[in-house]
Structure 1
Amino acid sequence: MLDFISIPMGFILKFIYDNLAFQNYGIAIVLFTVGVKSLLLPMTIKQVQSTSKISEIQPQVQEIQKKYSDDKEKQGAEMIKLYKENKVDPAGGCLPLLIQMPILFSLYYVISQPLKYMVGKSPEIIAELYGLIPHGAGNINNMKDLSIITYFSSHPEQLSQVSHLLKPEDLLNMSFLGINLGDVPSWNPVNYITPGTDIHSYLLLLIPILSGLTSYISMKYSTKNTIKASGAEIQTAIQNNMALLSPIISGVIAFTVPAGLGLYWIIGNIYQFLQQVFLDIFILKKSR
């Protein structure tokens, strides 16, 4: 469905992997994330400026809503007039989010199906390779591409038997700081208290934890100015609830997807935090 985005994205990620990331999948995701966020920076600046202006005129908005509470048509006309006078686009803050959502969904396909989108293997070849993997060996939540890479990376001696289908260079280096980015973190606490649990399971657990934590810090910081400017109790409560709900959702989802996607969120959250600090110092303060 999103192949028109996933295919070029996979090509770009493979180019970064081969030429800039020292053939390390984690470094490639970090560089890709920074690149995507940097390309969206001009739109993000407009979004932040628009959000800041909306917060500044919030008292006037509330005054109009109160004054024309019985005349919705007049209320709407006055609101439009207020936005025009202050050069505010109420929908302006949505554009970066609308662009990032298909990128996020497409990245899920690229990360969970790297043989298809990065290496260029056909679904038929992937299905044939997956059928050659012993049942239960190297299978990751029925994710064929990742299961193939995991299995043959652990059994390189088997590559000679499938050399017509798979080359050693097709097996991407998914290890990043001791974490296999193709694995999916386990949400079951039993897996972490069972004797003999390997260190990789605990390292993998860091992905959803850091995903939720960095999301909370980033959102809390980015909304602090909006909350102060609005002064509205209801809006403040909504912002506070979002600052708590969004990290929880992010952490929960990170338990259901490959760790590579969680890494994308973590780097994106860190970038967003640093970006907001930059905007506060060099953009918003200058406009005030």
Structure 2
Amino acid sequence: MESQRTFLFIGLLLVSFLLFTEWQKENNQPKADTSATQTVTSPSQTASNADVPTSSTGLPAQTTHVDRQVITVKTDVLAVKIDTKGGDIVEAKLLKHMEKHGSDVPYLLLGEFDGKQYVSQSGLVGLNGPDAAAQGRPVYTSDKSEYTLTGDELVVPLHFVDDKGVQFTKTFTFKANNYDVGVRYDVNNPTDAPIQVQLYTQIKRTVQDKGSMVDQTYLGATYGTSEEPYEKYSFKKMAEANLNKTTQGGYIAFIQHYFVSAWVPDQTTNNLIYSAVRNGQGIIGVKADPVNIAAGDNAALTAQYYMGPKDTKTLEAIHPDLHLTVDYGWLWFISLPLLSLLKFLYSVIGNWGVSIIAITIVVKSLLYPLTKAQYTSMAKMRMLQPKMQALKERFGDDRQKFGQAMMELYRKEQVNPMGGCFPLLLQMPIFLALFYVFLESTELRHAEFGLWLTDLSSKDPYFVLPILFGASMFLTQKLQPTTVTDPMQQKMMTWMPVIFSVFFLWFPSGLVLYWLVSNLISIAQMLFIYRGMEKKGLKVRG
């Protein structure tokens, strides 16, 4: 039945369109400003008191500007700038991830993006927190203006003493080959009265406007609680309602293509996850319970901040649910095993492109029983065409008798009319899961194959793979002669390879490589299956 074949191609077209839409959504990220790093000189570049949460529902008014300096910190993987006003991380470059393939400009994760802002903030509010003081956020002092990691660990302490003599030390701890930073507040209360402080950690990013269809990317906040391990909270949701979730532990994050920044508070304490939109800035944060410090006593408050690539193992080690920010969609249970297999193949082969070819061979081999059932069913349906035509001539316009006779023919010949559809539909989840693997896996960013394919995560610069894929579809049609007489269906079948090639022009070349190799293997399997049927005396072609 040729309508079955048409249905299969329509299904493929629909899936490809969905893949194309998702790829465009995720591939159109705001470009970072990779020009020379700017020195923070104005309060607009970091937090004002208007960004700082308090113990109450209100927010303190913005105060006047206080001079401060910017401290630079360099490790083997990070180049960070910390503003001494508030001790915020106002810039972070990832030294092992370049802005573009082949360039020597590190990827700018936090900082200024063509007038847009992305910073990480933390502080102490509460009754006696310095970040809630009327005079504005504290300006810390530092022993040095530049810190460089020379061993396994680098400690960057900042100091502040309030007008009552309470001593605050905010310490950043960086480790070699690590993108997560420990943040610790040591509070010493030498006064004769108790004080109360409350730790908050938050991420602030300029609200991103939605543009054309290809700009409909999810670039926004996520959070996790003890009951909700992973939830997205977009800029739109922030504008509609402030997030207010109480949980033990938890985390908050901002995610984007390939990278994430996240605050993980003390998991033993109760925390409030909140959001706000202030002056065009979307904020998501975590606020711990107040801590009371007796006169003459001291206390320590801690949190952990991650700023780097979406590496599932690293993120899971920081928080058991943080790896969910590597969003493989609803087919994550298929994507994760496929990613593990792809990584294993790469560890053996050493080339991501060849590894993609290898995983294609593995997947197609495992799916061979389904492929055989698909082509066998389609071949049997074609062989029934003369008998189907005879039934049409016999019963004419009597649809009821024709339908009964057709079902009897299927039963007699032991043919399932949908037998060619179900195997293909069962393969679709694997195609979709692999799409998310290519989309979300940082390992494939700027991964080289060879020759002109220098970045498997981006489109083929010369469109060779999409054209070859279209050619493989055309060859498949030629090897499966059609008896379609309807002009509309004939045109659709003729233009199908062209339509697919156009869709694939903007796909990541790694995914197109997978589809091309899969198509070539399918052709080989089809010829093998048909040859076996013809040896049994069944004419399945021509």
Which TM-score tier does this pair reach, normalised by the shorter chain?
0.5 to 0.7
Identify unmatched segments of 5+ residues in structure 2: 1-329
Q: Do the aligned partners of 2:374 and 2:424 also contact (CA within 8 Å) in 1? A: no
Aligned residue in 2 for 1:233:
485
1:13 aligns with 2:342: yes
Counterpart Cα distance in 1 of 2:493 and 2:342? 31
Q: Select the structure of larger CA radius of gyration.
A: 2
Paired residues for 1:1-288 under 5 Å:
1-19=330-348, 22-115=349-442, 149-150=445-446, 173-179=447-453, 180-185=455-460, 201-202=461-462, 205-221=463-479, 223-224=480-481, 227=482, 230=483, 233-234=485-486, 238=489, 240-288=490-538
Judging by fraction of residues, say which structure has more helix.
1
Whether contact under 8 Å (1:181, 1:260) holds in the other structure is: yes
> 1:256 is matched by which residue type in structure 2?
W
Are the structure 2 counterparts of residues 269 and 36 from structure 1 closer, same or farther at C-alpha, using a change threshold of 3 Å?
same
| Counterpart for residue 142 of structure 1 | none
The Cα of 1:265 is off from its aligned counterpart by 1.5
CA contact (8 A) 1:25 1:175 kept: yes
Amino acid at match of 2:458: D
Q: Counterparts of 2:397 and 2:505 in 1: how far apart (Å)?
A: 48
Higher percent of residues as strand? 2
CA distance in 2, matches of 1:259, 1:249: 17
Structure with greater contact order relative to length (CA < 8 Å, sep ≥ 6): 1
Aligned length: 208
284 and 35 in structure 1: CA distance in 2 versus 1, 3 angstrom threshold: farther
Residue 182 of structure 1 aligns with an amino acid whose one-letter code is S
Paired AA for residue 340 in structure 2: F
Give the share of equivalent positions with the same residue, in percent.
Answer: 35
Task: Report the Cα offset of residue 287 of structure 1.
Answer: 4.3
String of CA shifts for 1:149-173, please: whole Å, max 9, x gaps. Answer: 44xxxxxxxxxxxxxxxxxxxxxx4
Instruction: In structure 1, give the amino acid aligned to 2:440.
Output: Q
Q: CA deviation at 1:91?
A: 0.6
TM-score, with length taken from structure 2: 0.36
Q: CA offsets, 1:37-74, max 9 Å, x none?
A: 12222222222222222212212212223333443332
1:176 match: secondary structure: coil
Q: Contact (CA 8 Å) 2:469, 2:515: kept in 1 or not?
A: yes
Please report how far the alpha carbon of residue 95 of structure 1 lies from its aligned counterpart in structure 2 after TM superposition: 2.1
Q: Distance in 1 between matches of 2:399 and 2:459?
A: 50
Deviations 1:179-212 (A, max 9, x none): 1211224xxxxxxxxxxxxxxx33xx21222121
Q: CA separation in 1, counterparts of 2:338 and 2:492?
A: 30
1:90-140 CA-to-partner distances (Å, cap 9, x unmatched) read 01011221022121111111111113xxx6xxxxxxxxxxxxxxxxxxxxx
Q: Are the aligned partners of 2:360 and 2:518 in contact in 1 as well (CA < 8 Å)? A: yes
Distance 1:284 1:90 in 2: 21
Q: 1:81 to 1:98 in 2, by over 3 A?
A: same
C-alpha distance in structure 1 between counterparts of 2:472 and 2:387, whole Å: 34
**Residue 63 (structure 2) aligns with:** none
Q: 1:108–1:261: 8 Å Cα contact kept in structure 2?
A: yes
Contact 1:111–1:182 (CA<8 Å) still a contact in 2?
Answer: yes
Structure-2 change in CA distance of 1:283 and 1:62 (3 Å): closer
Alpha-carbon separation, structure 1, partners of 2:380 and 2:393:
20
Question: Is there any run of 5+ residues in structure 1 with no aligned partner, and where?
Answer: 120-145, 151-172, 186-200
1:174·1:181 contact (CA, 8 Å) conserved in 2? yes
The CA RMSD measured in Å over matched residues stands at: 2.3
Task: Report the residue type matching 2:467 in the other structure.
Answer: I
- The Cα shift of 1:13 comes to 1.5
Query: Could you say if the C-alpha distance between residues 250 and 176 of structure 1 is closer, same or farther in structure 2, counting changes exceeding 3 Å?
Result: farther
Q: Which amino acid aligns with 1:47?
A: Q
How far does the alpha carbon of each residue in 1:22-49 deviate from its partner, in whole angstroms, 9 at most, with x for none? 1211111101111111222222222222
Normalised by the length of structure 1, the TM-score is 0.65
Runs of 4+ in structure 1 off by over 4 angstroms are: none
Alpha-carbon distance in structure 1 between the residues aligned to 2:537 and 2:346: 40
Kept in 2: contact 1:216–1:243 (CA 8 A): no
